[in-house]
Amino acid sequence: MNKPFKRQSLLQRRFLLLLLDKFGHRESKLKDADVFYTLNFTSPCTVPQAVLSSCVPRLPSCTGANGSILCLVSVFKEKPPYPPSRAQALIQSRPAEEYSYVQSILRLLRNANFVLLMVTYGLNTGCFYSLSTLLNRMVIHHYPKEEVNAGRIGLTIVLSGMAGALISGLWLDRTKTYKQTTLVVYVMSLLGMVVYTFTLNLGHLWVVFVTAGVLGFFMTGYLPLGFEFAAELTYPESEGTSSGLLNVSAQIFGIAFTISQGQIIDHFGTKAGNLFLCSFLLLGSIMTAFIKADLRRQQANVENEHTKAMPEACTAPIVLEESKL
C-alpha cells in the first residue's frame, strides 16, 4: 500500500477517535457510521485504474494533511463544555493522576465479552478491507476492460454502505437490541459474501452491482454496531479506548486478509479467495452468538433514572384516611 494512503487512513481513524470524545451516545450512532471514512473513497472509485496510476504519484501528499491540521487548530476545541457521555463525565471527575490509559486497556482485555467482540469486529472489518482492496483486480479478471465499471461497483459499495451504517445506527438507537442486531447483520454479511462469491463469474455485470451493493450495505452497517456494542460492554471505560482497540483489530486482520487473499487469488483463483473470506465470516458469526449482552451503559441509565425518581416519591405528601387519624 502507498505510504500517503497509509497516513491518510491513520488520520481518518484519529478523526473518529476525536469524535468519540466530542459527542454523546445519542449522536454516536450517526458519527460511528464512518461517513468521513466512506466519503474519502467516493472520488477514487469513479476514476479508472490507468488514470490513477499516472496521476497519483504526482499528487502532493501533504495537501490533505495540511488541511486536516488547519481544521483541527481552527475548528476543534480541546474538549466540549460539558461531558458528552456518562463515561466521559466519570473520567473527567477523577484526578488526572488517577486515570491510567494502560490500566484501562488491561481492564478491557480482561473483559471476555469485549475480547470476543474485538476479534469478531476485526474479522468482519478485515474481510471488508480485503474485499475493497482487491475488488478492482477481481472484477477486471472476470470482466476485462471494465475498469470504469469496477470503480462504479466500488462506489456502489460505498453509497450502500453509508445507507446501511445510518440505518443500523438509527435502528439501534430506537430498539437497543445490541446483540440481536449485531448478530443478524453479521449473518447477512456472510450470506452476502457467499452470494457475491458465486455470482461474480456469471458474466452479468449488473448482478455484480446488486450483490456488491447488498454486501456493502451489511458489512459497512456493521461498523457502528460494533462501536456501540463495545461501548455497552465496557462501560464506564472511555469509548475512545474501546473503539481504538477495535480499530487496531480491524487493521491487523485487514492487512493479514489482504495479503492472504491476494496470494490465494494468484494461485487458486478469485472464488477460492472469496471463500477464504467466507470461512472467517462464518467463524465470526459463531463467535458473535457467544457474546453475552452485558449492557452496562443501559443498566446505568436505568439506575440513574430510578435514583432521580426516588426523591420525588419521598417528597410527595402522604394523605391519611380519616379513619386512621
pLDDT one-digit tens code per residue, 160-197: 999 998 998 888 888 888 899 999 999 999 999 999 99
Tell me the C-alpha distance between 292 and 233, whole Å. 9
Give which of 40, 56, 59 is closest to 48, Cα–Cα: 56
Q: Which amino acid is at 72?
A: L
Q: In this prediction, what percent of the chain has a pLDDT beyond 70?
A: 62
Least confident stretch, 52-56, 283-287, 294-298: 52-56
pTM: 0.74
**Model pLDDT, residue 215:** 93
DSSP string of 230-251? HHHHHTTS-HHHHHHHHHHHHH
User: What are the structural domain ranges in the chain?
Assistant: 3-49+86-95+107-317
Q: Kindly state the cell numbers that stand for 189.
A: 454479511
Residue 113 contacts residue 296 (beta carbons within 8 Å): no
The helix/strand/coil state of 184 is helix
| Greater pLDDT, 265 or 4 | 265
**Cα 287 to the center of its chain, rounded Å:** 18
| Greater pLDDT, 13 or 149 | 149
Residue 34 contacts residue 62 (beta carbons within 8 Å): no
- Mean predicted confidence (pLDDT) in 61-72: 57
Q: What is the mean pLDDT of the chain?
A: 77
Give which of 223, 224, 267 is closest to 29, Cα–Cα: 224
3-49+86-95+107-317: CATH topology: Growth Hormone; Chain: A; (1.20.1250)
The winner for highest mean pLDDT among 47-56, 96-105, 112-121 is 112-121
